[in-house]
Amino acid sequence: MKRRGLLLGLVSWVGALVFVGAMGLFGPRADAQQGPPPHALARVIAVQERHTERLMSLPDVVGTAVGLDEMGRPVVKVYVAHAGVRGIPSVIDGEKVEVEVTGEIYALGALAALEDPAEPSEVDRLSWFDRPVPIGVSAFNATEFSAATLGCRVTDGTNVYALSCNHVYARTNSASLGEAIWQPGPYDVVMTLRKQWNPADPTYVIGALAGFVQIDFSSSGENYVDAAIALVGTNTVGTSTPSNGYGTPSSGTVAAQLNMSVKKYGRTTGLTYGTISGLNATVTVDYGSGQAKFVGQITVTGRRFIQAGDSGSLLVTRTGNNPVGLLFAGSSNGSYAVANPIDLVLAAFNVSIDGQ
């Protein structure tokens, strides 16, 4: 618990510092409405952290976060699987509590990615792309019959890597380093290209699994990222989305802010827009084979913002294309998404965004 408190305290402090810098020294960002004073946000975060364990112990509570009410005041958010969940107070330690029906939260790759895009597009994100492939398109571990999203290219200053999720590249902790990563993912090779699936076929290989952060599925486990990298080359993976996306992400990341306008480009739903609605979120994520608790997360809301197969998408600001998070989970209706803070992801591999 000391590690969690230290990390979340740092996240909170950094968020407050970024808020002060963005709203004071440099003027308001185009991506965010004016938010609450940092001290008010920090106070509610402290209340949320004190009571999250008790709230999460209630049946059908799937998460907590700090968000804003309709008046723009910070409140404790409680995410529930369905309406009518009992035992949630309306006020905790003097701070308002709001209940939001999100439904269960799922990892949106591996066991859930077998879905075709709902809307036709001039760019087929599920198909083969000439090398170097763009970011935001279908990719997956060659040995698992599924498909999700290649998020972006990152670099350690010497090598370049394709960033996505553990459950996309590393088969949810099951993979060995060196396993091949395909573009498109095996599911799309079969269903879109109408080709046979042979994991040993080198035709679709763009790189090899180079690292991943283990996901802790124990009852006491606390996770911060669902992330993996594949060693690629500048000749196999590019830095920009297809022509109907947002282009190239900025190399400069920013911390999430409440009400920040964001977007993503992913394998299933392409370019979609949303709003950051929750900070410091603790959520229970269903991986099909088990559930894992994630802390210090970002929640995003938007109409059909994310769907199965969009795991691994890079979350960026609506203007500036500054990376904010790595999307990995969401609700079945696509209106709620969960992202790891991008700086935690990059720090895990000692890399930076290979952008502009």
User: 16-50, pLDDT tens digit by residue?
Assistant: 333 333 333 333 445 655 678 889 999 999 999 99
Please tell me the predicted confidence (pLDDT) of residue 109. 76
pLDDT at position 8, please? 38
Asked if the structure places residue 242 within a domain, the reply is: no
Do 161 and 93 share a structural domain?
no
Same domain, 61 and 120: no
Taking residues 157-182, report their average pLDDT: 98
Instruction: Say which amino acid occupies 170.
Output: A
- Report CA-CA distances (Å) from 264 to 165, 192, 220, 296: 15, 23, 32, 20
Predicted confidence at residue 36, as pLDDT, reads 83
Q: Which of 232, 267, 296 is the last residue of a domain?
A: 232
- 299 and 214 together in one domain: no
**Residue given tokens 């879109």 in the structure block:** 192
% of the chain with per-residue pLDDT over 90: 84
**Does one domain contain both 6 and 90?**
yes
* Domain match, 119 and 208 both: yes
pLDDT tens-digit readout, 187-229: 999 999 999 999 999 999 999 999 999 999 999 999 999 999 9
Residue 271 has pLDDT above 60, yes or no: yes
Question: Which domain range does residue 201 map to?
Answer: 115-232
How far is the C-alpha of 233 from the C-alpha of 295, rounded, in Å?
33
For the chain, what is the mean pLDDT? 90
Please tell me the predicted confidence (pLDDT) of residue 122.
76
**354 is a domain residue:** no
Q: Which of 198, 232, 266 is the last residue of a domain?
A: 232
Four-point Cα dihedral 13, 14, 18, 20, nearest 10: 20
In a domain, 237, yes or no: no
Per-residue confidence (pLDDT) for residue 5, from 0 to 100: 37
How many domains is the chain built from?
2
The verdict on residue 17 lying in a domain is: yes
Q: What is the pLDDT, as a whole number, of residue 117? A: 55
Asked if residue 184 has a cis previous peptide bond (ω within 30° of 0), the answer is: yes
pLDDT attached to residue 214: 98
Instruction: Note if the pTM is more than 0.95.
Output: no
Both 288 and 311 in a single domain?
A: yes
The CATH number of the domain where 18 resides is what? Answer: 2.40.10.10
User: Residue 119 has what pLDDT?
Assistant: 59
Specify the residue for token string 């979350």. Answer: 315
> Would you say residue 55 lies in a domain?
yes
278 and 331, same domain (yes or no): yes
Q: What was the pLDDT predicted at 162?
A: 98
Is the domain of 263 the same as that of 318? yes
Residues 258 and 300 reside in one and the same domain: yes
